[in-house]
Chain A
């Protein structure tokens, strides 16, 4: 399958990733069981007449999409592909609450129009005047992975430049409901996330966009070699076997991987298979976590890909994310192994180009 060259990136997350100079130097801790995204002043990025109708997911998405395009110095894109687990949750909630509060009368159009999952992708298209391919994947823990897979296939079909992103927003009501369902838990930060004995996660949100190109250029930071998703694997051995086969597709073995980013979320049940995999992966590679920085959400794997791209760009592995192994001399191949809810597992291979 065709490689995808990453020419531009931008990320809004629970860390100050929107600041291009940030590189794991100042770590912002969670607020209890929740990480809020560190958002920029949107007035600097979006026209005021557009901002007033946008919920946070749209503002985060439009801003990061725009910055990724600027980062890549791209003039146009052939496709816009977005992934989100919950979509524009704030506007969905606002519309439903208005229905309840007003006895299903006096419903206004704005929050309804803005509430659909594909609003972010469509707003980006309207601003960019891009009338080409526009698709939104709402596949829970595979939402972002589906975007990347689609982009790789579109390159096979002849597209040249594709904007890909993962977006998630939460509302106070959503956090409260998850808290009541005991899905959230404050993590013990004195121990690495993979050793957590918690039964919950620290929820979070964010938006990460990548400007991908079929062709390598002087703007190319790294390349996505490939991606693989596994739904409800039966055992960790099953995951390991499929990982070996996945790497073999790119003529690689585990010993070729310089850094493995693992999606430990702090929930001991969801992290079980990743913990079982850990001893098999630590022979030659440094192991790092990322959800201790970005929290857990459906499209956290987009944050992981941002970290992988930055590691290759900076050639430096920050100690704040290392959980095993030593710093490699050179970072050529970064492997992301993510899991969401112990159900959605994925491999993403990002390499120097």
Chain B
């Protein structure tokens, strides 16, 4: 799980061009939206595409995103649960 979280962290930083973010300062459980990384609704769309492109996971219902994208850990757990991690 830890390796997948680290991989996700790097992919998100690259995809969202978070050049100012130090990967070591991003914890697995800190919120991705609002506080924490401070992502917004456009980033949510980027994360949906990221999951589809890198893990072959298509999120059909956008409401699921609220749960899946809470933190790096919830994303990693969702990927594992889909048998893709």
**A residues whose Cβ falls under 8 Å from a Cβ of B:** 48-49, 52-53, 102, 105-110, 113
The answer to whether A108 touches B46, judged by C-beta atoms less than 8 angstroms apart, is yes
Decide yes or no: A108 and B20 within 8 Å by CB, A49-B38, A102-B53 being known contacts.
no
The answer to whether B17 touches A108, judged by C-beta atoms less than 8 angstroms apart, is no
B49 contacts which of A49, A106, A113 (Cβ < 8 Å)?
A106
CA distance A49 to B34 in the complex (A): 12
User: Considering only CB atoms, which chain A residue lies closest to B39 in the complex?
Assistant: A49
B45 is an interface residue with CB less than 8 A from chain A: yes
The answer to whether A53 touches B17, judged by C-beta atoms less than 8 angstroms apart, is yes
Decide yes or no: A109 and B52 within 8 Å by CB, A49-B38, A52-B19 being known contacts.
no
Residues of B17-34 whose CB lies within 8 A of A? 17-20
CA distance A194 to B30 in the complex (A): 62
Contacts of A52 in B (CB 8 A): 16-20
User: Knowing that A49-B38, A53-B42, A107-B49 are A-B contacts, what are 8 other residue pairs whose CB atoms are under 8 Å apart, sorted by A's residue number?
Assistant: A48-B20, A52-B17, A105-B53, A108-B45, A108-B49, A109-B45, A110-B46, A113-B42
Q: Which of A102, A105, A109, A113 neighbours the largest number of chain B CB atoms within 10 Å of its CB? A: A109
Contacts of A53 in B (CB 8 A): 17, 42
12 residue pairs A–B, Cβ–Cβ below 8 Å: A48-B20, A52-B19, A53-B17, A53-B42, A106-B52, A106-B53, A108-B15, A108-B45, A108-B46, A109-B45, A109-B46, A110-B42
Closest 3 CB pairs of A and B: A106-B53, A52-B17, A48-B20
Of the four ranges (under 10, 10 to 19, 20 to 34, 35 or more), the interface on chain B belongs to 10 to 19
User: Considering only CB atoms, which chain A residue lies closest to B18 in the complex?
Assistant: A52
Contacts of B42 in A (CB 8 A): 53, 109-110, 113
Contacts of B46 in A (CB 8 A): 108-110
CA distance A52 to B46 in the complex (A): 13
Nearest Cβ on chain A to B38's Cβ, whole angstroms: 6
Contacts of A107 in B (CB 8 A): 49
CA distance A106 to B48 in the complex (A): 9
Nearest Cβ on chain A to B40's Cβ, whole angstroms: 9
CA distance A273 to B37 in the complex (A): 57
User: Considering only CB atoms, which chain A residue lies closest to B53 in the complex?
Assistant: A106
Nearest Cβ on chain B to A301's Cβ, whole angstroms: 33
Nearest Cβ on chain B to A109's Cβ, whole angstroms: 5
CA distance A52 to B17 in the complex (A): 6
CA distance A53 to B19 in the complex (A): 11
CA distance A106 to B46 in the complex (A): 9
CA distance A106 to B16 in the complex (A): 14
CA distance A109 to B16 in the complex (A): 11
User: Considering only CB atoms, which chain A residue lies closest to B43 in the complex?
Assistant: A110
Q: Mark B34-73, 1 if CB is under 8 A from A, else 0.
A: 0000100010011001001100000000000000000000
User: Considering only CB atoms, which chain B residue lies closest to A106 in the complex?
Assistant: B53
Nearest Cβ on chain B to A119's Cβ, whole angstroms: 13
User: Considering only CB atoms, which chain A residue lies closest to B20 in the complex?
Assistant: A48
User: Considering only CB atoms, which chain A residue lies closest to B38 in the complex?
Assistant: A49
CA distance A244 to B16 in the complex (A): 55
CA distance A48 to B46 in the complex (A): 18
Q: Which of A102, A107, A108, A109 neighbours the largest number of chain B CB atoms within 10 Å of its CB? A: A108
Contacts of A49 in B (CB 8 A): 38
